[in-house]
Amino acid sequence: MLITTPGLAEAAVRAAEDSRVRQVIAFGAALDTIDFAQLSGLDAVPLPRLDARTQLALRPGGGAALTHRDLLGAMADLDGGVGLTESDVVLVTWPPGDGADLVALVGLAVAKGALLVAAHGLAAADLTGTVHDFGVTVTALDGQPLARLWRERSPSMPSCYPHMP
């Protein structure tokens, strides 16, 4: 979804056509858009009933199905020793797979407002530069749990990271 003003609607529609955006909403009437005023006039509908203990949130290809409670538990387990915050930048090199770990990590980062830098296949020689370039504060490297480098991004980054390969 792309939200725009009527004056930028034509450019927004063109941008949407060349992307994965499927709806353009404008704050006013404009060709090929949905007027925001129409949305606010829709009748309220009841929210779907959700039972976090029993309803499935995720069915990974190679793992057991997870309920919402299970997924939240996995997110809490990942966050346990790290305590992500909105000022964190997380570098993840975990490979995409059939399990729930990567999905839980993405969910955790989004829930906490952290930035996630995905770099599967990152060469060890490029690790220090990537940490510096993106201001990484937390790592999730292949085969390792989340590890905090430092609490906040800093313009003067340390030159060595003892727990990294």
Domains of the chain: 2-40 (no CATH), 56-148 (3.40.50.980)
Distance (Å, rounded) from C-alpha 153 to C-alpha 93?
A: 19
Report pLDDT for 96.
Answer: 73
Res 148 pLDDT > 70: yes
Report pLDDT for 151.
Answer: 66
Roughly what angle, to the nearest 10 degrees, separates helices 101-112 and 68-79?
Answer: 80
Mean pLDDT of the chain: 82
9: β partners:
none
Render pLDDT for 43-64 as a digit per residue (tens, 0 to 9).
777 877 878 788 888 877 667 7
The answer to which of 23-32, 100-109, 146-155 has the lowest mean pLDDT is 146-155
pTM, to two decimals: 0.62
Q: Which residues, other chains included, contact 85 with Cβ-Cβ below 8 Å and sequence gap of 6+?
A: 112, 113, 114
Distance (Å, rounded) from C-alpha 125 to C-alpha 139?
A: 15
Task: Check: CB of residue 116 under 8 Å from CB of residue 164.
Answer: no
Tokens of 96: 């995409």
3: β partners:
25
